[in-house]
Amino acid sequence: MTKQQKQIHLAAHFPGVNNTTVWSDPEAGSHIEFSSFVKLAQTAERAKFDFFFLAEGLRLREQGGLIYDLDVVGRPDTFTVLAALAAVTSRLGLAGTINSTFNEPFEVARQFASLDHLSEGRAAWNVVTSWDAFTGENFRRGGFLPQDQRYSRAETFMRTAWELFDSWRADDLVADKATGQFLRGEPGRFEHHDEHFDIAGQFPVPRSPQGRPVIIQAGDSEEGREFAAATADAIFTRHGTLEAGQAFYSDVKGRLAKYGREHSQLIVLPAATFVLGDTDAEAHERADVVRRQQVSGQTAIKFLEQLWNADLSGFDPDGPLPAFDPVAGENTIAKGRASVRMYRDPLATARQWRELAEAKNLSIRELIIEVTGRQNFIGSPATVAGQINDFVQADASDGFILVPHVTPGGLDEFADKVVPLLQERGVFRTDYTGPTLRDHLGLTTPASPA
């Protein structure tokens, strides 16, 4: 018997603050103006994507004490942007990254329940914990929580938010003009006491169309993966190669059974970048140009400093790697940057980079172009559609959160040329089958409390 083809899930990441984005490209527009958000969201909706995704950066990253142009600066508030987008889209899911370490469940639950109402059932919450005290300094209590406490807070934050969402039954708001009955009972009452939260009161927002927003999780640690297996509907990951994707996929799906959950209840979505061309050769040429745009000489030095944990501003990007090894100890040069945590063994990584540079005779800039963030999918529309489908059918993911390198028009070509090919193959929807994001993702809507 042939295995039934899996349906692919696709989301659009508004790239904003990251070094995938080529802000200097002649086609690039604002990362703050509303028209940019509208453009990308409407393109994603035209292409029948599952959802639009906003990341969150609560503090501008710094390196050597300075804000640097490796990242595009400026990220407006998530809820404000998503609520505005709800008015100019009608089916597309709206996913926002919101931190569980620095916020309060009452406030976040109220915001997501409101977004779910305004969008008629399209809200999703990417729950992140943040990893550094640097970000914590922005908040009143400052400081930070160690890893295990961050996740125990996240877990209880989530459960508390669920209690708030469930504090209204679906039919508690009666508003019967004939009988004059407005409410049934006393909806919204809650009381929650644990080591993190000590709250009681009345939740002001009636039950929203999805009951609870879709939950996305993006932590990669042991605790993060467990948290996702226990509570999330989808997981956002960096594991975008076939081998790493398959290992991650079977790892997180394998954790579901002990929480009494099915394989299909956690959707695995790696971030992915792409470059298209009329032919594969043209796409590869374009990809090389994009990589050079993404990694200027100055950017190459900044990247190298992140591994070396040292000021390398005196080095020539067109010259060889420093003769000395990375500085041991906690990385203090780059602040607020998640990717620095990937260098768990800087000496071993530096050794690999040195071997590669010597073997291929690469300068610092050429090496950085080679070892950081090469595009996941490069080729003609047919090639890219084939690669994406193969990846999903091989259980390396259930789809992708696509990160275009140009804002806001970087998804147009994909929408016009790749999506129709996926549709022809029968692996991507030709239209939405229901109104809510849970419908798009094939997730059930949590039952209203009786």
Ligand X SMILES: Cc1cc2nc3c(=O)[nH]c(=O)nc-3n(C[C@@H](O)[C@H](O)[C@H](O)COP(=O)(O)O)c2cc1C
The helix/strand/coil state of 84 is helix
**Residues 81 to 100 in contact with ligand X, rule: CB under 6 A:** 97, 99
Binding of ligand X at residue 55 (CB under 6 A)?
Answer: yes
What is the nearest approach in angstroms of ligand X to the Cβ of residue 352?
22
Binding of ligand X at residue 398 (CB under 6 A)?
Answer: no
**Residues 286 to 305 in contact with ligand X, rule: CB under 6 A:** none
The helix/strand/coil state of 302 is helix
The helix/strand/coil state of 62 is strand
Asked if the peptide bond before residue 449 counts as cis, ω within 30 degrees of 0, the response is no
The helix/strand/coil state of 255 is coil
Binding of ligand X at residue 334 (CB under 6 A)?
Answer: no
What is the nearest approach in angstroms of ligand X to the Cβ of residue 390?
21
CB nearer ligand X, residue 6 or residue 59: 59
**Residues 206 to 245 in contact with ligand X, rule: CB under 6 A:** 218-221, 223-224, 236-238
What is the nearest approach in angstroms of ligand X to the Cβ of residue 201?
28
Q: Please give the structure tokens belonging to residue 184.
A: 């049934």
Q: Please give the structure tokens belonging to residue 186.
A: 């006393």
Torsion of CA 283, 289, 293, 297, to 10 degrees: 140
What sign for the dihedral angle of Cα 137, 139, 143, 146? Answer: negative
Which of 125-133, 188-196, 310-318, 439-447 is the region at the interface with ligand X (rule: CB under 6 A)? Answer: 125-133
What is the nearest approach in angstroms of ligand X to the Cβ of residue 101?
8
> Helices then strands (H, E): number in the chain?
15, 16
Q: Please give the structure tokens belonging to residue 202.
A: 């009345």
Which of 88-96, 128-136, 321-329, 406-414 is the region at the interface with ligand X (rule: CB under 6 A)? Answer: 128-136
**Structural contact between residues 427 and 390, judged by C-beta atoms closer than 8 angstroms:** no
Residue 221 labelled as part of a binding site: yes
CB nearer ligand X, residue 216 or residue 301: 216
What is the nearest approach in angstroms of ligand X to the Cβ of residue 237?
5
CB nearer ligand X, residue 23 or residue 168: 23
**Structural contact between residues 234 and 267, judged by C-beta atoms closer than 8 angstroms:** yes
Nearest to 88 by CA among 14, 38, 147: 38
Q: Which of residues 128, 321, 422, 443 is near ligand X by CB under 6 A?
A: 128
Q: Which residues are annotated as a binding site?
A: 97, 151, 221
Contacts to ligand X by CB under 6 A: 55-56, 97, 99, 128-131, 218-221, 223-224, 236-238, 271, 338
Q: Which residues are annotated as a binding site for FMN?
A: 97, 151, 221
